[in-house]
Chain A
Amino acid sequence: MTAERIDSFPTRQIDGYRVSHGRPFPYGAHVVPGGVTFSVFSDRATSMTLVLFERGADKPMEELRFPPEYRIGSVFAMTVFGLDPENLEYGFRADGPYDPAKGDRFDAAGILTDPHARLLSGRDTWGVPPDWSNPYQYRAVIALEDFDWEDDAPLGTPTEELVIYETHVRGFTRHPSSGVSAPGTYAGLREKIPYLRELGVNCVELMPIFEFDEFDNSRVNPGTGERLYNYWGYNTIGFLAPKAGYAATGRYGMQADEFKALVKDLHKAGIEVILDVVFNHTAEGNEQGPTISFKGLDNATYYMLTPEGYYYNFSGTGNTVNCNHPVVRDFVLACLRYWVSEYHVDGFRFDLAAILDRGPDGSPLPNPPLLEQLAYDPILRHSKLIAEAWDAGGLYQVGHFPNYGRWAEWNGKYRDVVRRFVKGDEGTVGELAARIVGSPDLYGGRGPTASVNFITAHDGFTLNDLVSYNDKRNDANGEGNADGANDNNSWNCGAEGPTDDPEVNALRTRQMKNALAILLTSQGVPMLLAGDEVGRTQLGNNNTYCQDNELSWFDWDLVTANAELLRFAQSMIAFRRDHPILREARHPLGVDSAGVGLPDVSWHGVRPWEPDWSPGSRLLAVMRCGRDASGGRDHVYVAMNSHWEGHDLELPELSGGAVWRVFADTADPGGTAERRVGGRRHHIGPRSVVILTGSTA
């Protein structure tokens, strides 16, 4: 049964190292009986050398050139026997032409990271300044991949049931107030699972956790002189490697186990894990950027190049991954498959995903092979695929991202119109109506689950700042306040920034509740930005990509300080869970589709059945009618008033003796105590949202 393999013996020696043919697939480095097999692709390299280090050593312990016979096609593969995988780091030297105009940038003087490295060392503990004199910064390490998952698997929660919570692994628990044993880590986040359960979210979307270098930002904070980081991490170095600096055990190289333990426990709590992935560019920048891996291994394959050999910059960061090149497609697919099969993640949010449908010359493809492949891939078949459907090159595809019936989108139009409505802009009610029922104008053929609804995300103001600042305050980013979006659709409620005016503060709380109430009663998939449920502020900074400090960190003292807002958020999430009519996977038709005597959706104004669609309208009520989970009749009436005056609403009549009850009234600071409406009239206060339920019970 356990007979040794006949290929588990070396066939020759190089420099005293016993070696043999390697296995070309899968790429990367894998432990095999007696040794480690290494495999790397390069189309244009003339020779390849495997560089071996003892863990942490400055100088290589050995360099083994791949014999010509160990190259199959464009793949160099070699097994080296007698290595201790735990005490080893490796890289490659690729030799070949240096002719940038033709796309070639080979330089055998540099040591290159394996693009398929499944662990990287070199940035093992967050914030420990690197030794830049070391010739090999991001060091490929061999992963021991076995993990005791027991019976865990991706959860497969129906998309329409998701409530997504976008957070940053470090920022979530790094603040001293978090009280966890390992602040700012995967393990720290794991300790906060009970908080997520109480909040009621069932999916966390993690900002990039692929290995990146927090030190790749050279700016300083002009106010304090402190160096700034790459805190968000949208600058990938290792596409298969979880960031070691986010692991309490990164210094022992155990980040994979720590991250897996997090995923496993989130799953036990019924919470899915979506990764924010950045395949549109890499950390290598343009021709002035560092050579880390792809540039030196096969520049012309991995990057979109101009006819003169420069880098196209559709990402706004210097380079653009050539993601519809067949080899790169395979690479992206291999990465995603790996995260699903090895780490059990439930889905992905693709940063600047419009780039993924550009061809090698940058032009958008009508049927982009990468997107099609991801949509139909067997391993990814049930993974959530969410596109940020635009890029920095001007391609804006919200509503028409090539989707193959599989892809959802961050609905930027939802964000914009809800913000404008809440702040009291005119001319928003008509579009608002479409957005809150799942944007049938954008996703008619795809259903509401194609729409990830959000009002705030990592990129932009937090919810509290959205109601506290008219203008961004990004000076601390060291770019003269020129970075970050200018068009925020925000309103400060009467004072710019923190104030002790109780009226302004009360209005801000109400406006935050209004936003949460609209978001969580909208059809589609709601996404909350972590901390918005407790009024987290970034003091007006709407682009904290570089701020590894209290501007970005979740302040856990807010959980008690803003307990009322938190309770409201919790109750709204629970309300959504308890009312399936709010999260139907099909768009409503405006007819009695559930046989309850009333249409599935209807629109109302101050008077029932008389919505005011005029440009000056600031009040809209929507009534959803259908069935609850046990098949009984359910009615939900949501009145949204962004007018600075209150109004007396006449409510639609219910059939069969059903009566209206108040579930929430954002003008009532007491919160969400349910009470019966006397008669068919109800007052809605200025700038507030009222939610009523109708039932016979």
Chain B
Amino acid sequence: MSVNVTTRSADGITLVRLDGEITSNSAPGVQDRILPLAGDTGRLLIDFTGVPYVSSAGLRMLLLLYRRAQAADAKIVLVGLSEEVRFVMSATGFLDFFEIGDDAETAMGGVRP
């Protein structure tokens, strides 16, 4: 099970769309794709609309991403989280670290100067 990762950039914002379950199997691949982006962009939007499930290892990958972005002074915004994923992140405290947006288009619009 791998996750499909598509990216596009505009106005210093990078949008990453993920499709598939993020588990210990797929997380390393996703991480390899996104980690480099966390450093070279002012703002990274990750669209979870196509992600039904994020496992414990997946959440750890996200937090690692957050720490890397923080070190590079970049911002990470998570959008399109399913109710379940959002609930799991909230119950485990992971949500506290992230900025959350409703959907990609709004979030993109919201951060444009």
**Which residues in A have some Cβ–Cβ distance to B below 8 Å?**
84-87, 144, 146, 148, 181-182, 185-187, 247-249, 252-254, 257-258, 260-261, 264-265
Contacts and interface: CB of A to CB of B under 8 A. Distances in A.
B90 A257 contact: no
Nearest to B24: A86
A258 B91 contact: yes
* In the A-B complex, the 5 residue pairs with the closest CB atoms: A261-B93, A86-B24, A187-B91, A257-B92, A248-B91
B82 interface: no
B20 to A, nearest CB: 15
Interface centre among B25, B63, B91 (most CB of A within 10 A): B91
A411 to B, nearest CB: 36
Contact of B55 (A86, A148, A261): A86
A437 to B, nearest CB: 42
A249 B91 contact: yes
B86 to A, nearest CB: 11
A86 B25 CA distance: 9
Contacts of A252: 55-56, 88
Given A148-B63, A248-B91, A261-B91, A84 B56 contact: no
B87 A148 contact: no
Contacts of A260: 93
A249 B88 contact: yes
Contacts of A249: 88, 91-92
B23 interface: yes
Contact of A254 (B25, B63, B67, B88): B88
B18 interface: no
Q: How large is the interface on B (under 10, 10 to 19, 20 to 34, 35 or more residues)?
A: 10 to 19
18 contacts: A86-B23, A86-B25, A148-B63, A181-B87, A181-B90, A185-B91, A187-B91, A187-B92, A248-B91, A249-B88, A249-B91, A254-B59, A254-B88, A257-B59, A257-B94, A258-B91, A258-B92, A260-B93
A612 B92 CA distance: 57
Interface of B is mostly: helix
Contacts of B63: 148
B38 to A, nearest CB: 16
B56 A148 contact: no
Nearest to B91: A187
B82 to A, nearest CB: 13
Interface of B: 23-25, 55-57, 59-60, 63, 67, 87-88, 90-94, 97
Nearest to B55: A86
A85 B92 contact: no
A186 B24 CA distance: 24
Contacts of A85: 24
Given A84-B25, A85-B24, A86-B23, A265 B93 contact: yes
A84 B59 CA distance: 16
A84 B25 CA distance: 7
A660 B79 CA distance: 61
Contact of A87 (B24, B91, B92): B24
Nearest to A248: B91
A261 B25 contact: no
Contacts of B97: 148
A267 to B, nearest CB: 12
Nearest to B64: A146
Given A148-B63, A253-B56, A248 B87 contact: yes
Contacts of A257: 56, 59, 92-94
A125 to B, nearest CB: 13
A182 B86 CA distance: 13
Contacts of B24: 84-87
Contacts of B90: 181, 187
Nearest to A144: B56
A257 B23 CA distance: 16
Nearest to A87: B24
B90 to A, nearest CB: 7
Contacts of A186: 91
B92 A261 contact: yes
Given A181-B90, A254-B92, 11 more contacts: A86-B56, A146-B60, A148-B63, A181-B87, A182-B91, A186-B91, A187-B90, A248-B87, A254-B59, A257-B92, A261-B93
Contacts of A254: 56, 59, 88, 91-92
A551 B25 CA distance: 45
Contacts of A84: 24-25
Nearest to A143: B56
A424 to B, nearest CB: 48
B42 to A, nearest CB: 23
Contacts of A86: 23-25, 55-57
Given A181-B87, A264-B93, A144 B60 contact: yes
B94 to A, nearest CB: 7
B91 A247 contact: yes
Contacts of A253: 56
Interface centre among B56, B87, B88 (most CB of A within 10 A): B56
Contacts of B57: 86, 144
